[in-house]
């Protein structure tokens, strides 16, 4: 049966006290909305529809750059969840047999859970509600079952009796419908309530009156966590990090402190790597096998290949590639550079817009002076070189293979291979070892 996914994302999130719309707040360095879209796409639906507010229309192009196949619909007035879903029906009233309703501020829902939910409609059900059993049900709506263990009703906490409040089977808000049944009854939902809004949960009563079968599925509470304020945002981020830690541990990666390491949504780490405490993984970081990332290291947009040792207190910035068996030590910053096999930059150096050849050793305090005040310039250091401590390499610059640069040198012109350079002004002589 073909599937349409409708993601409700029109809420501004005023309790976040932010200029940014709620669904664009990030979990694991990735907007919440994008998390849920990525998960939905793995269901291979006929289409995915995002319901946004009129005020969010300016963000449509931004979202489409990431997900060009999405459909958008504007909820002109925010009159409740049923109203939001009704505004999207033009995209699922034809050629679609099932409609799954998700929320843009609930980014932790698992693919396996959604697949189970979808499969429920194969069991002669017309609708299925995703439920959970939190340790503290708080003010969640309660899902009441009949003697056949099907859904009888959803009752809001404020309207529940004392006995009904003892029931800890709670509504997550996520639902799936047979589309023709949804289309038949959604317009029967009224706004006869204190908020004068059209609530999707009211469709349960309408389905029951028409003898439709309503099933339910229980999932882990953490999957259904939504974001309304900054405290919720922190809780969702914390749970996201827990999931990432478990994922990496199961893949053969050692993490020495699960609470102090921060992973992005797209972090990749190879088997037998060791992650020390207080490490930050920004976006687009890929780590190979048997790599040690030591404490207080900050990584962004970089590839680190096999058998490397990075840190402590290292920073590797975007567009950098660290090849096999490289040692990057404490207080070293790498930016937009390639560090080739077996090279060593042990401490207190800045390497920017550069290539460092294999087996080359960079002494403490060495910097590549890559910016002349107008443009960034490149430095190329060959193989088997030694760069002495406190050396300034003024780009654009090329240093040949097997060259030795003495400590404290300032290098402004290209250096031939197999020479020794030292002093200010420089003294040049042949490297007799080569």
pLDDT of residue 27: 98
Q: Which segment of 81-95, 172-186, 227-241, 275-289 scores lowest on mean pLDDT?
A: 81-95
Query: Higher pLDDT residue, 158 or 256?
Result: 256
Q: Confidence class of residue 392 from pLDDT cuts 50, 70 and 90?
A: very high
Q: Confidence class of residue 137 from pLDDT cuts 50, 70 and 90?
A: confident
User: Per-residue pLDDT tens for 315-337?
Assistant: 999 999 999 999 999 999 999 99
Query: Higher pLDDT residue, 391 or 148?
Result: 391
| Cα-to-chain-centroid distance, residue 338 | 26
Q: What is the mean pLDDT of residues 252-270?
A: 98
Q: Confidence class of residue 1 from pLDDT cuts 50, 70 and 90?
A: low
Q: Confidence class of residue 95 from pLDDT cuts 50, 70 and 90?
A: confident
List the Cα angle 89/95/98 in 5-degree steps. Answer: 65
pLDDT at residue 430 tops 90:
no
* Structure-block tokens of residue 269: 């780490």
Q: Confidence class of residue 161 from pLDDT cuts 50, 70 and 90?
A: confident
Percent of the chain with pLDDT over 90: 82
Q: What is the mean pLDDT of residues 21-48?
A: 97
pLDDT at residue 416 tops 90:
yes
pLDDT at residue 165 tops 90:
no
* Structure-block tokens of residue 15: 């309790």
Q: What is the mean pLDDT of residues 373-396?
A: 96
pLDDT at residue 273 tops 70:
yes
Average pLDDT over all residues of the chain: 94
pLDDT of residue 113: 98
Q: What is the mean pLDDT of residues 300-311?
A: 98
Name all domains of the chain by residue range, CATH numbers in brackets: 3-224 (3.90.550.10), 230-430 (2.160.10.10)
What residues pair up with 246 in beta bridges, in sequence order?
none
pLDDT of residue 157: 82
pLDDT of residue 426: 65
Q: What is the mean pLDDT of residues 230-253?
A: 97
pLDDT of residue 399: 98
Q: What is the mean pLDDT of residues 252-278?
A: 98
Q: What is the mean pLDDT of residues 344-351?
A: 98
Residue 347 is among the residues annotated as catalytic for this protein: yes
pLDDT of residue 431: 78
pLDDT of residue 22: 94
Of 25, 59, 347, 384, the catalytic one is 347
User: Per-residue pLDDT tens for 186-239?
Assistant: 999 999 888 889 999 999 999 999 999 999 999 999 999 999 999 999 999 999
Q: Confidence class of residue 13 from pLDDT cuts 50, 70 and 90?
A: confident
């Amino acid at each position: 049966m073909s599937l349409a996914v409708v993601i409700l994302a029109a809420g501004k999130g005023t309790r976040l006290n932010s200029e940014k719309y709620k669904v664009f707040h990030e979990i694991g360095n990735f907007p919440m909305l994008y998390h849920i879209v990525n998960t939905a796409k793995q269901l291979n639906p006929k289409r995915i529809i995002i319901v946004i507010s009129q005020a969010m229309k300016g963000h449509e192009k931004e979202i489409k750059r990431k997900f060009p196949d999405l459909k958008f619909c504007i909820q002109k007035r925010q009159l409740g969840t049923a109203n939001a879903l009704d505004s999207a029906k033009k995209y699922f009233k034809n050629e679609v047999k099932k409609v799954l309703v998700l929320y843009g501020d609930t980014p932790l829902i698992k693919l396996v859970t959604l697949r189970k939910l979808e499969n429920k409609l194969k069991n002669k059900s017309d609708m299925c509600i995703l439920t959970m059993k939190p340790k503290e049900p708080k003010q969640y709506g309660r899902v009441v079952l009949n003697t056949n263990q099907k859904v009888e009703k959803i009752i809001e906490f404020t309207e529940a009796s004392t006995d009904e409040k003892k029931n800890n089977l709670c509504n997550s808000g996520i639902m799936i419908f047979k589309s023709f049944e949804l289309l038949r009854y959604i317009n029967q939902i009224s706004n006869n309530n204190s908020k004068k809004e059209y609530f999707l949960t009211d469709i349960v009563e309408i389905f029951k009156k028409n003898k439709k079968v309503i099933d339910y599925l229980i999932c882990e509470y953490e999957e259904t966590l939504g974001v309304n304020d900054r405290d919720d945002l922190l809780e969702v981020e914390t749970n996201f990090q827990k999931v990432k830690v478990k994922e990496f541990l199961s893949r053969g990666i050692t993490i020495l402190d699960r609470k102090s390491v921060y992973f992005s949504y797209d972090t990749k780490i190879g088997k037998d790597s060791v992650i020390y405490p207080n490490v930050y993984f920004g976006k687009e970081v890929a780590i190979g096998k048997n790599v040690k990332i030591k404490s207080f290291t900050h990584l962004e947009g970089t590839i680190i290949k096999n058998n490397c040792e990075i840190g402590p207190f290292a920073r590797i910035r975007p567009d950098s590639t660290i090849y096999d068996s490289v040692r990057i030590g404490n207080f070293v910053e790498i930016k937009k550079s390639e560090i080739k096999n077996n090279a060593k930059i042990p401490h207190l150096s800045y390497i920017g817009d550069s290539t460092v050849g294999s087996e080359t050793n960079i002494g403490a305090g060495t910097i590549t002076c890559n910016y002349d005040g107008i443009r960034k310039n490149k430095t190329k250091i060959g193989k088997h070189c030694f760069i002495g401590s406190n050396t300034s390499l003024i780009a654009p610059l090329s240093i040949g293979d097997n060259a030795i640069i003495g400590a404290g040198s300032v290098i402004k012109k290209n250096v031939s291979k197999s020479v020794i350079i030292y002093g200010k002004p420089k003294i040049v002589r042949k490297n007799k070892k080569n």
